[in-house]
Structure 1
């Protein structure tokens, strides 16, 4: 049973009975962090921080939730004793939210939640069991294309590689700025992977032209899409408490423009996750994560019109 004091996303009043238009789904998963820790506390901190986000959205010219029914679900939890069983339980948690009845936004938790989310997404009516139809748009400082990290194949650093193993048809990486030789070789040799390095569209010399090209590429996306947003895709100064903050990343407004273009394209965005949220004492990381999740919600609502 849901406790009366459980925080609600954006501090909105919610109905406990569906149908819902947007579902906020906390997945406090942490098993393979390799440096900074604390992702298991991220979803709750993000939801709490969201109460300080202004409800008015300039894209909508209206206050959220624009008359729609929003639901903050009970957080995923599992007593499973192994990593693989934990991932299976995430898949089982996600399946019921991926039937096409509502737009799901999952809050992580480490990026290792992605493969089970892709398994669950296979049942979405836009996918019909064929993940080859799906384009994964990945905003991230890292490629996450290693075959293993620290001896573990199901790690936050292997999440996109494992998503491809699940059958995802294409990955569009945006904002990559640190990767291994192994990952670069894999990305260059696998036609399913398209990488837009941050330096190419944010550099001092040719960043403006690169940015315009990126927007054109996003506008051209068609078919079903999943947005996976690792908060370290933002500049490290905006998310200092995430596990591996990296300089040279997206500004807030850069991220907003990417999200708005993606949802305004000809694509059908079937779901999203915002991951690697680690709360800090100054609350900057969780607040900026809440801003991103809010913008995803607003862009989804705008795309319904």
Structure 2
């Protein structure tokens, strides 16, 4: 760490999230950006999320009410991959054309359609493989990895890499959507299929979904049939609240469903739409920022270990609001992850 670093000074633009001075090699937590947004089925722009959050993160004050000396948490950042962003943009144009073709009733069995569909699936397959390879290397160095998306297809490679390190773990999935569709719109690695793909890994002991409020019948049937999946829908959470159950009690119930080791997958549209107005598929309802914060804090307070996380679907739009919210949630995710494994940062939370 640079001796000149002052956590009370303005954020320095050094290509690190929050202007922190730590290199990846000396860090305990690595933030790995994946600027990918190919299969988004409604609004786009999530590939701009990592850079927008990086820029906004310099306005995040480093003092934290939960974690003592938060600025000293060794969080390092990997450079945003311009080649991946360019590949995403090129394939996004093709995918958008295919989606429009399907919406207009085009022949999904035509040779030309199938060839283009396979080209998209292959590009996404390569993205997943790249993410797995890159994150596996940092896991081998005993680093924790937090993935910054990008659309929600991006963390599959990280989840696969973690499955090669941890024999069993659960996923806490905060999202407006269940993401259990099989090859949605023909895209094998669709943002809407991330949890379906993750659940193919036998190492996933439990999937606990929070704030879901948009899903199809097939997804509902999967949830009902698979005992590993527990959904706390936004409607059920609000109904319990109206009937007198407070958020602390609800968080206790959610955390009780999780195993000891937890991966957090956070789609920003799990929050209320006013906090993420430009996200790809905003849905009325959702968690407030403080509710999400308290849930993450509850995971740490329970003594469970957070082994990694992703934050995705932050689309900046024309302003800075979405990126500002995303950057602050990213800071909370990073700090709470380190607090779950390091007594120095976790002692005040677990008290």
* TM-score where L is the length of structure 2: 0.78
Query: What displacement does 1:207 show?
Result: 6.0
- Residue in 2 aligned with 1:82? 123
Larger deviation, residues 194-203 vs 210-219: 210-219
Q: What is the alpha-carbon distance in structure 2 between the residues aligned to residue 119 and residue 7 of structure 1?
A: 27
Q: What is the alpha-carbon distance in structure 2 between the residues aligned to residue 106 and residue 253 of structure 1?
A: 22
Consecutive unaligned residues in structure 1, runs of 5 or more:
none
Q: What is the alpha-carbon distance in structure 1 between the residues aligned to residue 243 and residue 34 of structure 2?
A: 35
Q: What is the alpha-carbon distance in structure 1 between the residues aligned to residue 272 and residue 220 of structure 2?
A: 21
Q: What is the alpha-carbon distance in structure 1 between the residues aligned to residue 241 and residue 250 of structure 2?
A: 16
- Residue in 2 aligned with 1:268? 305
Consecutive unaligned residues in structure 2, runs of 5 or more:
1-11, 89-121, 344-351
Q: What is the alpha-carbon distance in structure 1 between the residues aligned to residue 139 and residue 163 of structure 2?
A: 9
Query: What displacement does 1:246 show?
Result: 1.1
- Residue in 1 aligned with 2:78? 73
Q: Secondary structure at the match of 2:135?
A: helix
1:114-168 C-alpha deviation (Å, 9 max, x unpaired): 32221111233xx1xx3xx110110000000111211122100011000001222
RMSD: 2.1
State the aligned residue count. 293
Q: Is the 8 A contact 1:138 1:173 kept in 2?
A: yes
The structure with more helix, counted as a fraction of residues: 2
Q: 1:150 to 1:188 in 2, by over 3 A?
A: same
Q: 2:233 aligns with which of 189, 193, 197?
A: 197
Q: Is the 8 A contact 2:131 2:155 kept in 1?
A: no
Alignment of 1:145-294 (within 5 A): 145-167=180-202, 168-203=204-239, 206=242, 208-209=244-245, 211-220=247-256, 221-294=258-331
Does residue 1:14 correspond to 2:3, yes or no? no
* TM-score where L is the length of structure 1: 0.89
Q: 2:55 aligns with which of 45, 48, 53?
A: 48
- Structure number, greater radius of gyration: 2
The structure with more strand, counted as a fraction of residues: 1
Q: Is the 8 A contact 2:73 2:335 kept in 1?
A: no
Query: What displacement does 1:107 show?
Result: 0.3
- Residue in 1 aligned with 2:176? 141
Q: What is the alpha-carbon distance in structure 2 between the residues aligned to residue 95 and residue 271 of structure 1?
A: 12
Q: 1:207 to 1:121 in 2, by over 3 A?
A: farther
Q: What is the alpha-carbon distance in structure 1 between the residues aligned to residue 158 and residue 255 of structure 2?
A: 25
1:17-53 C-alpha deviation (Å, 9 max, x unpaired): x231121111111211111111111111111111111
